Amino acid sequence: MFLNVFLNKYLKMNFDQLSFPLSLSNHIEDYDLTIVGGGIVGITLATALKASGLKIVIIEAHSQVNSASKPQAYALSLMSVRILDAIGVWKKISSQVGKFNSIRVSDADHPQVVEFKTADLGTDYLGYVVEHQVILETLKTIIADSPEIKWLCPAEVMSVDYQSTKATVKIKVEGRLQQIRSKLVIGADGAQSQIRSEAGIKTQGWKYWQSCVTFTVKHNAPSNNMAFERFWYSGPMGILPLPGNRCQIVWTASHSQARVIKELDETEFLRQLQQRTGGLLGELKLVSDRFIFPVQLMQSRRYTDHRLALVGDAAHCCHPLGGQGLNLGIRDVAALVETLQKSYQRGEDIGSLKVLKRYENWRRNENWVILGFTDFLNRLFSNQWWLSMKMRRLGLWLTNTFPLIRRLSLQLMTGLLGKIPQLLK
């Protein structure tokens, strides 16, 4: 009896410790496009190509519930809204977004304030603010009925083999290995992109000395149609209006200061926030948790390789000043869609480096301008050096005095400078 019990326990223990290799399915599915990353940029690309005739698969590592629950909101530029409108997204979300028709820019406690208005561009609004879940769930709904788009989630990319005519992607879905073959792989898997790293594509840039604390507040100000960029010596604070008299706030400070801000008790936190915002929003109530993330500038040395293209944060990251990150990714999508559609219609190989270089030459140079501009502004304003203070306050005076400077600044930050995608023509 004792011997039987001992043997049963011993055998069970050793059986549990054994690991068996995953079986690899011999079946290989063929697609034109494999998009790795089911975030906003990746699904926007699939949505824009929905009627192109291309067969697409999206691979997302996180579950759909987790990917949609991100507590974040984004500023959408005028160009991004026009692109989303062209692919049928904007009309579905426009009633759920915040809108601003002016932008107020100030430097710490200096009395000089610059206010950008719709008259500077001749538009109804200067920008919009949309919550992560709103735009992501809408995009998923739009592609859900497309027979040409398949969604694998959660699924993990194990390896990619780039061959002369195809790329073979090995993935793990529900504990089983599968293989996918496609003409082109798109890396839309974020700043820590596995696709970029395993392809050996290097990046250049740096990590800032700053982190951002982001959160949502409710206020009782009489209007909620203005965005704020409040520069301070430790870093800028962006304030973006959301529906329901709410605002998404991104508070930039040094790493140590940001950690302190995040951990303050709510009463002291709101007191300091009230002081930092100058009372412009009236009484404040915190309606979300506080989240912290470090800031970096990153530009991939190339956006493309044979049968590979990078978009969004997988290709580049910039300082959140001005809310440019997602907007750059959406413009990447518009440029890549135009490149792929034209080459597909001409019968060209959409995965060839010759074709993909057209996209890279378009977007990499334009993105450098925004990366450089946001870096310059952050460094100019985030200090107390007397020469920097003189320069930036002169800049504010010039911007306030000359309408042409305001117009050019707005055109740059709203995406209206640069090449116009075919989607909008």
Question: Is position 58 within any domain?
Answer: yes
The pLDDT tens digits of the residues spanning 346-362 come to 999 999 999 999 999 99
How far, in Å, CA of 274 to CA of 249, rounded? 12
Question: Is position 82 within any domain?
Answer: yes
DSSP code, position 313: G
Quickly state the pLDDT bin for 24 (edges 50, 70, 90). Answer: low
Task: Check the CA dihedral 378-381-384-390 and report its sign.
Answer: positive
Among 112, 107, 114, 111, CA closest to 384? 107
Instruction: Cite the beta strand spans of 245-315 per DSSP E.
Output: 246-254, 284-286, 291-300, 304-305, 308-310
Helix (H, G, I), strand (E, B) or coil at 1: coil
CATH number at 318 reads 3.50.50.60
Question: Is position 351 within any domain?
Answer: yes
**Number of compact structural domains in the chain:** 1
Other CB atoms within 10 Å distance of the CB of residue 397 = 12
Question: Is position 79 within any domain?
Answer: yes
The pLDDT tens digits of the residues spanning 91-136 come to 999 999 999 999 999 999 899 999 999 999 999 999 999 999 999 9
Kindly calculate the radius of gyration of the chain based on its CA atoms and give it in whole angstroms.
24
The pLDDT tens digits of the residues spanning 155-168 come to 999 999 999 999 99
Residue 30, token pair as written in the block: 């063929």
Q: Which domain holds residue 93?
A: 25-97+126-206+295-380+416-424
Residue 261 has pLDDT above 70, yes or no: yes
- Residue 196 CB contacts under 8 Å (≥ 6 apart), including other chains: 187, 189, 203, 300, 310, 314, 315
Residue 408, H or E segment = helix 403-413
Residue 44, token pair as written in the block: 């926007």
Helices (H) and strands (E) in the chain, counts: 13, 20
Instruction: List the Cα angle 329/332/335 in 5-degree steps.
Output: 155
What pTM was estimated for this model as a whole? 0.91
Question: Is position 254 within any domain?
Answer: no
The pLDDT tens digits of the residues spanning 358-385 come to 999 999 999 999 999 999 999 999 999 9
Q: Assess contact for 77 and 415: CB atoms under 8 A.
A: yes
Residue 137, H or E segment = helix 132-144
Helix-helix angle 403-413:386-401, to 10 degrees: 100
Question: Is position 271 within any domain?
Answer: no
Question: Is position 224 within any domain?
Answer: no
The pLDDT tens digits of the residues spanning 179-224 come to 999 999 999 999 999 999 999 999 999 999 999 999 999 999 988 9
Q: Assess contact for 257 and 249: CB atoms under 8 A.
A: no
Residue 248 has pLDDT above 90, yes or no: yes
